[in-house]
Amino acid sequence: MLFGAVQMNSQLDVEANLARVVALVKEACARGAEIVALPENFAFFGPEDEKREVAEVLGQGRISTTLQALARETGIPIVGGGMPERSHDPMRPYNTSILVDAGGRIAGAYRKIHLFDVDLADGTRVEESAGTSPGAEASVTPILGTKLGMTVCYDLRFPELYRRLSDHGARVVTVPAAFTLTTGKDHWHVLLRARAIENEVYVVAPAQWGAHPRGRRTYGKSLVVDPWGEVIAQAQEGEGVLVAKLDFAYQDRVRRELPCLSHRVL
């Protein structure tokens, strides 16, 4: 499988962000990608009060229907990394990653469980829970002959979620993100490699990069990690696309030669 990951610098303007999504997904297709994943906040990156305004019912709003139309046009599935979905609380939408199949059907959805509430030494303060409702369920969806697990950004710090996805048969896990510059430079690579090694899965991590509204800065470095923990593709600075080959025969060999998943006691 050739898996594409898109790195973006999303801003407040939904239409402008979606235009970039269309262009970058088509670029990934031109490079041979058979499935493409977008970063967290791909359609909107801004304050909570404005995020509530763009939250939508899946399959009925501008963001999700754009991905559906794009999947049909390109003929490949798309993982919409993280978008505002209306919840039971109109003040706190979900942060939802959706999987749209090649026919434009929403085949799977995952609502971010772990919300990013931090107060960092560099002055970065984020209280995602103030404007976002948490999800409660893991998500594994069949696609292109394999099983895909979906997570979002801060979930990366909670290995029990990834073990749950592995237990449900996931062979690839997506981690769309908007990692802060401060945490990214120290933790991004090591956490992604750890989740891949622990579960012997491919990890695909499309990310936001650069400066965003309200002083947010994100780390970028979108990458793909193989089941041995090797980084097999990484994006450069700026917006762009990477495409990596996922070799499931190699994954089977890793799992056969180092069968740690079958050695679990707890």
Q: Work out whether the CA dihedral 141, 254, 234, 151 comes out positive or negative.
A: positive
Domain count, the chain: 1
| 139-182 tens-digit pLDDT | 999 999 999 999 999 999 999 999 999 999 999 999 999 999 99
pLDDT value at 196 more than 90? yes
DSSP assignment, residue 261?
G
Angstrom distance (rounded) from CA 183 to CA 96 = 22
- Taking the C-alpha atoms of residue 83 and residue 132, their distance in angstroms, rounded to an integer, is 11
Catalytic residues: 40, 112, 153
Q: How many CB atoms lie within 10 A of CB 242?
A: 22
Q: How many residues can be counted in the chain?
A: 266
Range of the domain at 225: 2-263
* pLDDT tens for each residue of 101-148: 999 999 999 999 999 988 877 767 778 898 999 999 999 999 999 999
Secondary structure class of 94 (helix, strand, coil): strand
The rounded distance, in Å, linking the Cα atoms of 204 and 91 is 31
Handedness of CA 179, 216, 42, 40 (dihedral sign): positive
Structure tokens at 122: 């560099």
When comparing pLDDT for 23 and 48, which is higher?
23
What CATH number has the domain bearing residue 179? 3.60.110.10
